Each structure stands twice: as C-alpha cells, then as structure tokens.
Amino acid sequence: MKFGVLQFPGSCDEVDALQAARRVGEAELIWHGERDLGGADAIVVPGGFSYGDYLRAGAIARFAPAMESVIEFAREGGPVLGICNGFQVLCEARLLPGALLPNRNLRFTFRQVQLEVLSSGTFTRGCALGERLSIPAKHAWGRYYADDRTLAMMNESGQIVLRYAPGENFNGSLHDIAGVCNEAGNVFGLMPHPEHAVDQLIGGSTDGLKIFNSIKMTVEA
Amino acid sequence: MGVASLPTVDDAVALGLTAEEYALVCEKQGGPPNQVELAMYSLLWSEHCAYKHSKKLLRTLPTEGPHVVMGPGENAGAVDVGGGLACAFKVESHNHPSAVEPFQGAATGVGGILRDIFAIGARPIAVLDSLRFGEPEGQAGTRSRYLLDGAVSGIAHYGNSIGVPTVGGEVYFEAPYEHNCLVNAMALGLADRNALVRSAAAGPGNVLVLFGASTGRDGIGGASVLASAELGEADTGAGGDSDKRPTVQVGDPFEGKKLLECSLELLARGLLVSLQDLGAAGLTSSAAEMASKGGVGIEIDVERVPLREADMEPFEVMVSESQERMLCVVEPGKLERVLALCEKWEVEGAAIGAVTDTGLVRVTAAGEPVGEMPVRALVDDCPLYDLHPQKPARPIYPAPLPAPALAAQATPAQTLLALLSSPNIASRRPLFEQYDAIVQSRTVRRPEQADAAVLALPGGGALAVSIDGNGRRVAADPYRGAIESVLECAANLACAGAEPLGTTNNLNFGNPEKPHIAWQLTEAVRGLGEACRALQAPIVGGNVSLYNEGATGPIYPTPVIGMVGLLPDARRAGRLGFARAGEEIALVGPFAPSLVASELAKLRGEALPDGLPETDLEAVRQAQAAVREAVRSGALSSAHDVAEGGLAVALAECCLAGGLGAEVAVEADSAAEQSLFGEGPGGFLVSGEGGALAALGAPVRRLGTIGGDSLRIRVGEEPLIVASLTELARAHASLGELFS
C-alpha cells in the first residue's frame, strides 16, 4: 500500500508524516504544483502553514493543483487524512463539514492530549471504541465549529470520530471534537498529530500508528 | 554626485562614527567619502559588525578542540557529532529591536539565527531562546509583561511557522533589564560533515546572486543606530511612539521557509560556490565580508536589486536590513539553473553583480559608479580599541525590592513556596507551550522532562543542548559568575548523559567605553575562557551585544552560554523527574551551598555581594563526569542539577516532574536555611536503586526515599518542610497568571 503526502511550500510536518506512513507501508511526497498523485492508495494532507496561512489557515491551499486531484480522489472514495493544517485545508475544500477557529486562548498551544475514539471506520479500524489515545496537538487555529444542525447530523451518522478526553479540550472545540470524517467515511481530519506519536523514544506514545495502520487495513481489506 | 554635496564629519558622527574614525575613512578613501561610502563605512565600522571594543578580548577564548569542524568567523560554528555528521550552532542577540518592538524583534532574531545555520549548509533542527526582562509583577511590571508576551509570541510565530522546533530556553526577571530587555536566540543545524560551506567569495568573473525577499526601506541603520548605541528613554517608554521603530525589521516566516528549502536544495545540487545570509547591515556587510574572506573584489549594481519600494537611494539599497535574503556566488554556467530553482520555490532571484579581482567593493547604479571602497579598509581597517577596565569603587546596582510573597518570619515551607512561585523559578510551561517542540520528529526530551533538550541522531545517539546564564551572579562577580554559567550549562548536559562538544556565547553587556563595564566584560571573558578550557568545550562561534543600557543604568552583565553535547544512546537520555516510589535519593558532587547572591537573598531585597565563593572547577568537572557516566549506564532513574533556589527547590522540581513525593533528611552541618536554599555549582540530585547510587564515582550523600504525595524535608531530626504535591504545583504554576 502506498501513501501520498502532499507538500506545500509552507508544510512543516510533511516529512514526519512521510516517515510515519513508511512505518506501515510505502510513502512518497507529492509537490503542491503536481496534479499526478503518483498512484497513491491514500493521501495525507500534512500539518504546517501551507502558503504561510496569513489569510486564514488552509484558505489558499484548497486551490492548489494537487488539491484539485485530491478532491477528485476523495469523491471517488479514496481515503484522505488531514492532520492539523491538513484538517483546515479539507474543511476549506468542503471535503469535511465545519471549520477551525482560533483557539479559545488565542495562542499557539502545544500539549500532549488524551483522545477518545467514538466511532469505528476507515481511520480507527485498529482502535477499540472508547479507547484512549495519547497524541500531541500543536496549533493556533484548532477550535472546531459547526452549526447545530450539522453537528446533530454528524452525531447521528458517526462522523465525530475523536474527541478530547475530559479536561483535555484546550482549544475550545464544540462538543470536545478533535477529529471528524465525511458522511462517506473516507475523508478524515483531526487537529492532533498522529505522525508525532509513532515512536516510543520520541514522545513516549505509539498510539498515532493506529491511525496509519487502520488506513492500511482499509486499503488492503 | 558633486563635491559640494559630500557628507561632512557631522553626518559621520550622526551615523555613529567618531571624528577620528571619519578622518581615518578619508585617509583610506583618499578623500572624503560620498553618501554611499559613508553609509557603508558607518555600518561596517560599527561595534555590531567590527567588534571594535571586544575583538581583542575574544581572541583570548579557546576555539580549538578535537570535535571542532568550523570555528568562529563563519556564519556559525560546527562540531563533529559522528556518523559523518556535523552540528552547526550559534547564539545571537536581538536585544534592542526587541526592546523597541518585541514581537518583530524576537521573530526576526529567530529568522536571522536560522539563516546563519542554513547559510553553512546545515538544516536547522532546533531553536532555543534566552530572555531577560524587568520584574513582571503588578502595575510596575506592565511593560515587562508586554515585552515578554511579545517576544514569546514572536519566537513562536517564526519558529512554529518555519517548522523548526523550539526545544528549550530560559528566562529571568530582574530590574536592571527593565529598560533594556535581552532576547537571545540560538539555533542548531545538522549537515554532512563534508558538505559544510563557507562564505568566502571566489573566482573573479563569477556571478553574485541575491535571492529571497525584495529589498525595502525596513531596518535601515539597524546595526549602527540600534545595535551599537544605548537606548534612550523615548525608545522604550510606555508611549511606544519611538523614532527608532522604522529601524526594526519585519519577519516573514513563510518567505524564510521557502528561502531555507531553496538554499539547501541549491547547495545539495552543487550549484553554489559560496553562500552568505543578509543580516545586520544587509548587502553592505554580506558583500564586503564575502569579498574579504575570499581576498577578492565585488561589484554590485543597485539597479538590479529587486526593490519593494520605488525610488530607493543607492545607499538605502546597500544598507537595508530587509529580512529573508541570501547572497550567493555562482559560476556563470550554472546561473540559469540557480534562477530556475529559485522559481520552483517561488523565491525571487536576481544576478546583481560579480566577483572581481580588484580588491574593491564597487557599487554602481545602472552602470554609473556611486561608490568604491577597498575591501580591506571596509572590513579589516576599523580601529580596534583597548578597554580601560576598572573595578567600580561602589556597587553599581541598587538592591532589589523585597518580594511581597515572602513574609518576614516565613517558615521554611513558606519560603519554599515563595521561591517556587517567584518569576525566576516558576514553571515556564505557559511560555514553552506556545512553541512547537516536536516538529521534525527528533525531540527525545521536551521542556521540563530533563535539564537539557535531547534530540535523536540517525545512528542511535543523540544531541543534548542547553542555554544558560545568570546575570545577577555575574554582576556579583563577573569572573566566577561567568565560570558558573558555563558549569551550569555543562551540568544540564551531564544530567541528560551528554558530554560537551562545543560552546557558543552571547556577551550581553553595557557600554564598554565605561571603565566599570569594561571590567565586567574583561573579567567575564576571563572566566568564560577558563571554564571552557577546563571542560574542553571550545567556543566555536558567538556574538557580542554591547551598549545595553537604559535611562536607569546598565543591564546586569549577562554572558549567555549555549552548549551542545553528545550521548551515545538516545534511549538512555536522562530525566529530571523522580521515576519510582521506593527508590533512593542522593546528592552528588562538591556542592557547597551559600545564600550569597541566591534567589532567596533577592526575594529578601538584599544588595548584591562583592564577590561569589570560589569554585573548584576540577572537582565540579569530575562530579559532572560521574553523573554523566551513571546516566549513560542506565544506573540512575533521574538526575537534576541543583540551581536557583537550592536543594529544596530542586527536590520540589523532581517531585513535580515525576508526580511523586519524597521524604528526605538534609544533614545539619550548616544553618538549615543555607542547606535548604543555598546555591552554588557542583550539586546534583539523583535517584535510583541504592546500590547504583553508592557506586557513583563522586562524593555521594544519601538524602532519603521517593514516595507519597508530599515533599517532607527534615534537617537533622527536625521536620522543617511538609508540602503536598498540590501545594507545590500551585506555587510552581504562578507564571500562568501573568498571561491571563
């Protein structure tokens, strides 16, 4: 199985995501100006500041040539994982419902957070329902917001995949939401960084690998 | 330009030169310089660029050692870290810009130090920062809090956005920094040992390419006006409508990120002869230094420089400090490929001139000459000045105000809580939580997990890095205080299990033309050299920031030390927190606590003493080696050096970091207060199995056992401190309130 990891000029965590993906399969970077996804079975839109994000996080990246191909890939059912800035980009591209607002404390904040798995699917197949994952989060714009109707629908269709454990929601996300998927379940975005929880030596948790492994299980199923 | 419009000696003085220096410039030029030439001389002959008051002293520092790959004089120094890799590192100050505009001042400080690292071909892997502000509490602390908040946000803005983790740092609050804060930033990079590049221009006929951001009017005169003169009241007043604000540059981390990737790819493809970043004094300094190092000449046409604003004067183009720009030398046959790669990274690249064999820096505008100067005169002929050090007859710093948090008849437990909540000791979490400490997937130890940050290397080893300085103790005794700063840095590395490879330093001092400041500087450099020699941690690069004085006097003399060390097995990197209930706690090393110049003395409002107790450098070095070896062998569960606040604070920090209490007895061979809160180098608090502690190759004193949910300290048989972890944690979290 092969992951394609997008690379924008302002990406920061693309190499981390590449290395994490390579722990479970093959992985290559895809330059933002390319339309060819290189035969990837799954796409990762990584963290960072795609084009500087001076306007609004992810607002410009959705127009990148590579993103046009990713949108098409997602519409055909291909698995797409958006991490942090990638989550913001997927929301801007309307592949995911809702939006990410500035953190409640208005500051970039880095913390190791505990997450709870609420829904089983493409990206959480390898986790038990209710399982706790220890994964770091680091962002300035991570407060998840969607209107009440959307939230109710998402709740009903199991689109709320991850939430911050009690006391862990530092950014002020509605309903403690940390990660959501689309209705079809093949596009998933989360603010915490699973690619930074793949090695016991670096960070003391390997819970993030479960997300990458779940994708692999789905692709190879 | 007609002779009638030539600038005068008064113009030269306004630009920061002395009348004598101006006369020397006239001599070197064979006549009065024109506007472009004078502007360039005034910058290159500034303290910031020419080190004219510090160069003679700096020559006394040790710069060579078995691990040194690149020493002082290049954009950054570098040491061999094994596996064919070199670690490049350097610390630099951005003090005056940050005092005028903290967010941009700090952000561009980070941007500048990162460019220094990738200019020698190393990929930046970490940033650390060292900050000093006035007292932050209450109404009087409003401006200090504003500066702290701005500086931390600025560092976070640049470091987080460019994708380099900020892994460590330090901050202290003392009244003498109120009108002149310090913002020092350190960066580390990794490179193939054989792929490091130097900045010397070579090959007459080769093309000079400027790439990165376009050139604007920002930062004009930064090196001479801001960095090489004292700040006046108006610069740092609460009104903030300072005349000097336009001399502060504005940072753009996205442009910086593209520039970084573009530079590294240009080097990786072998397209460059040499590379240099544009920092203080912009094109003037970069071009002149590249020419000087290569023994060649350089010609630049200002009309070919991409401008941000129309109708800039030639001198403005030459001295602009616009950020995110690099200058490189390219063989003519490779120019097209260089420009194509710039285009890929959406970075503007322009051929602006050439390397010549004239030994001159020649500036033209659309081919017309507008300035011509011998490279040697610009770079090497600035007069160097002797210092006239004299120890001040009377104390130059007023006693600090007593801290309200410390009651007059405080019990030992109350004293401990007051120390833990004091701004200099409280947890830095509210600050470092604003930094991405983990991007690039190398961070083995994050802030507050160990005394030093630990970064994994490809072969299974790791780098440990620490940055330290204690201005108050250096003010009390510049020579011994500087030694202590170096020892503190090395102690942090030892607790992580690392042996020092090399050192960088930033000398933050007041006006060196004053005899008492010259004395501080001379004594501190003497101590610095001695300690680095003893530890075999040579100085591979650094920076000097002088004239740090505000309306109320000089800052504390503040040598900031950055040290990089190596540990063979990243999996055995040390931790500071107590790890397992039931394990024993011991104090290792020739620790001789004294309340002189301690945090407790400061909280009590005591004036600085004249001199610190003497340190046995060799004994401390041996204790560090013993702790290091024990950490490396896996014998210790935790190791933490005893620093500000003494043993009791160190115990509390180990308890809090591990979430475990402890029961200890401190021997009553001196006053209880001195044993509990006294400070001094050479003390390490370690924990582990009893047998392992006994086997340490250094003086060991068993203190007690880990366990419970409180810290209980007896002195002799007398129980003096009982404090729950909750109480300790609450006191330690006090810095959060400053940000709410």
pLDDT at residue B74 in the model:
87
- Rounded Cα gap, residues B237 and B577, in angstroms: 42
The DSSP string of B197-266 is -------TTPEEEEEESPB-STTTTIIIIITTS---HHHHSTT---TTGGGS----HHHHHHHHHHHHHH
Q: Does A158 touch chain B (CB under 8 A)?
A: no
Q: Is the pLDDT of residue B5 over 90?
A: no
Interface test with A, best of B431, B441, B443, B735 (most A CBs within 10 A): B441
A111 — pLDDT class (breaks 50, 70, 90):
very high
Q: What would the pLDDT profile of B297-315 be if each residue is shown by its tens digit?
A: 999 999 999 999 888 999 9
Q: Is the pLDDT of residue B236 over 70?
A: no
pLDDT at residue B223 in the model:
55
pLDDT at residue B238 in the model:
41
Q: Is the pLDDT of residue B245 over 70?
A: no
Helix (H) or strand (E) holding B47: helix B47-50
pLDDT at residue B227 in the model:
55
pLDDT at residue B233 in the model:
47
Q: Does A51 touch chain B (CB under 8 A)?
A: yes
Q: What would the pLDDT profile of B179-204 be if each residue is shown by its tens digit?
A: 999 999 999 999 999 999 988 989 99
- What mean pLDDT is predicted for residues A104-116? 97
pLDDT at residue A61 in the model:
87
Q: Between these two residues, B409 and A97, which has the higher pLDDT value?
A: A97
- Chain B's closest residue to A12, CA to CA, is B163
- Rounded Cα gap, residues B110 and B164, in angstroms: 10
Tell me what the pLDDT averaged over chain B comes to.
Answer: 93
Min Cα–Cα distance to chain A from B447, Å: 11
Instruction: Please check whether residue B468 is in contact with residue B448, taking contact to mean a CB–CB distance below 8 angstroms.
Output: no
Instruction: Please check whether residue B104 is in contact with residue B97, taking contact to mean a CB–CB distance below 8 angstroms.
Output: yes
B26 — pLDDT class (breaks 50, 70, 90):
very high
The closest CB to that of A13, out of B157, B439, B442, belongs to B439
Q: What would the pLDDT profile of B80-117 be if each residue is shown by its tens digit?
A: 999 999 999 999 999 988 998 999 999 999 999 999 99
The DSSP string of B142-207 is HHHHHHHHHHHHHHHHHHHHHT--EEEEEEEE-GGGTTS-EEEEEEEEEEEGGG--------TTPE
pTM, whole model, 2 decimals?
0.95
Active site residue A193: yes
Q: Which residues of B touch A203 (CB under 8 A)?
A: 438, 443
Tell me what the pLDDT averaged over chain A comes to.
Answer: 96
Q: What would the pLDDT profile of B359-368 be if each residue is shown by its tens digit?
A: 999 999 999 9
pLDDT at residue B305 in the model:
97
Which of A84, A91, A127, A181 is flagged as catalytic? Answer: A84
pLDDT at residue B382 in the model:
92
Q: Is the pLDDT of residue B515 over 90?
A: yes
List the single range of B151-160, B405-414, B485-494 with lowest mean pLDDT. Answer: B405-414
- What mean pLDDT is predicted for residues B594-616? 96
Q: Is the pLDDT of residue B318 over 50?
A: yes
pLDDT at residue B217 in the model:
86
Interface test with B, best of A113, A200, A201 (most B CBs within 10 A): A201
Chains A, B: CB contacts under 8 A, how many?
84
Whether the predicted interface score ipTM is above 0.95? yes
Q: Is the pLDDT of residue B222 over 60?
A: no
Q: What would the pLDDT profile of B114-152 be if each residue is shown by its tens digit?
A: 999 999 999 999 999 999 999 999 899 999 999 999 999
CA distance from start to end of chain B: 57
Would the CB atoms of B252 and A52 count as touching at under 8 Å?
yes
- Rounded Cα gap, residues A49 and A86, in angstroms: 9
pLDDT at residue B674 in the model:
93
Task: Map residue B710 onto helix, strand or coil.
Answer: strand
Q: Does B127 touch chain A (CB under 8 A)?
A: no
A53 — pLDDT class (breaks 50, 70, 90):
confident
Q: Is the pLDDT of residue A199 over 80?
A: yes
Give catalytic residues of B, as residue numbers: 48, 94
- What mean pLDDT is predicted for residues A181-207? 97
- How many other C-beta atoms lie within 10 A of the C-beta of residue B19? 11
- What mean pLDDT is predicted for residues B410-433? 96
- Rounded Cα gap, residues B93 and B28, in angstroms: 31
Q: Is the pLDDT of residue B4 over 80?
A: no
Percentage of chain B lying above the pLDDT 70 cut: 95
Min Cα–Cα distance to chain A from B245, Å: 23
pLDDT at residue A211 in the model:
98
B407 — pLDDT class (breaks 50, 70, 90):
confident
pLDDT at residue B246 in the model:
56
B221 — pLDDT class (breaks 50, 70, 90):
low
Instruction: Please check whether residue B627 is in contact with residue B587, taking contact to mean a CB–CB distance below 8 angstroms.
Output: no
pLDDT at residue B671 in the model:
85
Instruction: Please check whether residue B566 is in contact with residue B459, taking contact to mean a CB–CB distance below 8 angstroms.
Output: no
A17 — pLDDT class (breaks 50, 70, 90):
very high
How deeply is B204 buried, as exposed, middle or buried, from its count of CB atoms within 10 A (0-12, 13-18, 19+)? Answer: middle
Percentage of chain A lying above the pLDDT 70 cut: 100
Percentage of chain A lying above the pLDDT 90 cut: 92
- What mean pLDDT is predicted for residues B641-652? 97
Which numeric CATH code is attached to B199-381? 3.90.650.10
Please name each of the domains of chain A with its CATH number. Answer: 2-220 (3.40.50.880)
B241 — pLDDT class (breaks 50, 70, 90):
very low
pLDDT at residue B244 in the model:
56
Domain boundaries, chain B: 199-381
Q: Which two tokens stand for residue B699?
A: 């003086």
How is the beta sheet containing B584-588 ordered, strand by strand?
Answer: B636-641, B684-688, B584-588, B700-706, B662-666, B710-715, B718-724
Active site residue A195: yes
- Rounded Cα gap, residues A115 and A131, in angstroms: 8
B243 — pLDDT class (breaks 50, 70, 90):
low
Q: Does A12 touch chain B (CB under 8 A)?
A: yes
B1 — pLDDT class (breaks 50, 70, 90):
very low
Q: Is the pLDDT of residue B550 over 90?
A: no
B224 — pLDDT class (breaks 50, 70, 90):
low
Instruction: Please check whether residue B721 is in contact with residue B713, taking contact to mean a CB–CB distance below 8 angstroms.
Output: yes
